[in-house]
Structure 1
């Protein structure tokens, strides 16, 4: 396990906001890509990056929706990208690489959660496909631009949902076991965390560092596939209208769930904080590095060992290369 997988401490908490972690951060001249950056946490992240001076490209499955959401923000571009479709990923990445620009920040924010069983065009389970495989292929294809930056960071949004499941290497696509939407979500979030470990090992010699992030519990469009029974299982109203801290209030003042600014804070901290200089391959939450949770200990935040295990990360990397056909240059 990474010896740095423990709180720094950073001085930030669950109630810290995007504005607080970005205070004094200057991104003038920096280029960022934020998947899913036109709604929810992604949009909040993009707005904070732009406020700090960054130029941002937002890949979007729905360019029309992205155009409307991003209207008026300076230094923003958007382009079509479907994380379920390899041809779409290749087209977006190849177009960006062809510019000859450096990519300083890659924030892999887009995702889906607890969906009914669906498969992509290659037969992969949809959460594994969109949350991990699509982002893996995107990052690998953008590799030359990350190396060109000389000091780039990649942030993969994981989740406390990783606790639902380690990665099942024997049946990642639920071809032989009954489909469980929460286990499928859990293993995809475990995959996000392992991806950060694997990418950081490869990237560190080139100045490319990677982090996995649990943003906190926030009500966004991610809950669109949840049923009343799902909400009830989490002790929430069946209509999903649970207590969210209003912008400008703390979690304790406004409810048990973070607002968007608090939710975006950890991704932004990992992407920009000088406190993380020289570090990488870490799972972070609440504006700090998370503590590892030993087997048998009740999970109350932190990260399970299966999501940060270097051997599992290497195994997943090899599988992902095989399934996507994408690999870093030798």
Structure 2
């Protein structure tokens, strides 16, 4: 069964760091795939999990940047991956599968935010294509490796910005709707949360649990490349202020490793705990809106995603 959206009392809060969230976890012998590990939250997540003994597969658009960002981090394998390119995803999966390694933790961290209207080669709106469809296809490809772990977790970064929009099933690609970059981002982040609901429902029988996390608004990352300083300030205010990179990576690390989450899954987490479910019309930051954790919407998104990517898994 999917876990209820109710905090567990983890003892962490919005100021906790990734190292504090890790605690005494020992990941020796575990393999972790982290997308977007060449900067910001991805780099910090990879660093902290490697510190606990994990082997990190850093899946990045620019291996050169990753080599610089991850210098000094031990037991890291850097691999090229472009989530907006289906062929790149398939090639990455083939390289991982060729080794026969299990994947114990998959961190779907990479993403783009509030960019001008752009479409991928298939004609799909770029934020939805990169943030959701790319990770859907990646997770599908890595499914055999996740099952081989005999107990795996998939952590997908959502955002409090999911409150800006549900998934626009009638016009996901903004073909008839006027494009608004924050609405498109909100749609993609709602999709990330719904994906975790759908994946957890389907993966439990194979020992795979899924979690969505809101890291917070993190200053000093590349995610805000397309935002003006005014837009950045407004966004931070709307979502409860900013965090440092170590604080922003805390909920990801907690969801990936905390023993408190054994037997749990399919939930949206924030500030180092399961988030509270809140009404759709809540105006203040915090909590998860109903459309981001609705199992029926998760099933609908799953079917749409299979059709859009041409990928099916969990059969």
Same topology, TM > 0.5: yes
Tell me the TM-score range normalised by the shorter chain.
over 0.9
Q: CA deviation at 1:16?
A: 1.0
1:286 pairs with one of 257, 271, 285: 271
Where 2:27 maps in the other structure, the secondary structure is coil
Paired residue for 2:293?
308
Where 2:114 maps in the other structure, the secondary structure is coil
Preserved contact between residue 293 and residue 299 of structure 1 (Cα < 8 Å): no
Q: CA deviation at 1:296?
A: 2.8
Paired residue for 2:185?
185
Q: 1:89 to 1:235 in 2, by over 3 A?
A: closer
- In structure 2, C-alpha distance between the alignment counterparts of 1:177 and 1:155, rounded to whole Å: 31
Alpha-carbon RMSD = 1.5
Q: Give runs of aligned pairs for residues 48-127 of structure 1, distance below 5 A.
A: 48-127=48-127
- In structure 1, C-alpha distance between the alignment counterparts of 2:233 and 2:138, rounded to whole Å: 36
Q: Does 1:323 align with 2:298?
A: no
Preserved contact between residue 36 and residue 58 of structure 1 (Cα < 8 Å): yes
Paired residue for 1:173?
173
* Aligned residue-pair number: 312
- Give the structure-1-normalised TM-score: 0.92
5+ residue gaps, structure 1? 237-250
Paired residue for 1:145?
145
- In structure 1, C-alpha distance between the alignment counterparts of 2:300 and 2:236, rounded to whole Å: 36
- Give the structure-2-normalised TM-score: 0.96
Paired residue for 1:10?
10
Q: 1:228 to 1:19 in 2, by over 3 A?
A: closer
Q: Does 1:296 align with 2:281?
A: yes
- In structure 2, C-alpha distance between the alignment counterparts of 1:149 and 1:100, rounded to whole Å: 11
Q: Give runs of aligned pairs for residues 121-136 of structure 1, distance below 5 A.
A: 121-136=121-136
- In structure 1, C-alpha distance between the alignment counterparts of 2:291 and 2:12, rounded to whole Å: 26
Q: Does 1:230 align with 2:231?
A: yes
- In structure 1, C-alpha distance between the alignment counterparts of 2:236 and 2:45, rounded to whole Å: 29
Paired residue for 2:217?
217
Q: 1:216 to 1:93 in 2, by over 3 A?
A: same
Preserved contact between residue 158 and residue 189 of structure 2 (Cα < 8 Å): yes
- In structure 2, C-alpha distance between the alignment counterparts of 1:145 and 1:44, rounded to whole Å: 24
Q: CA deviation at 1:229?
A: 4.6
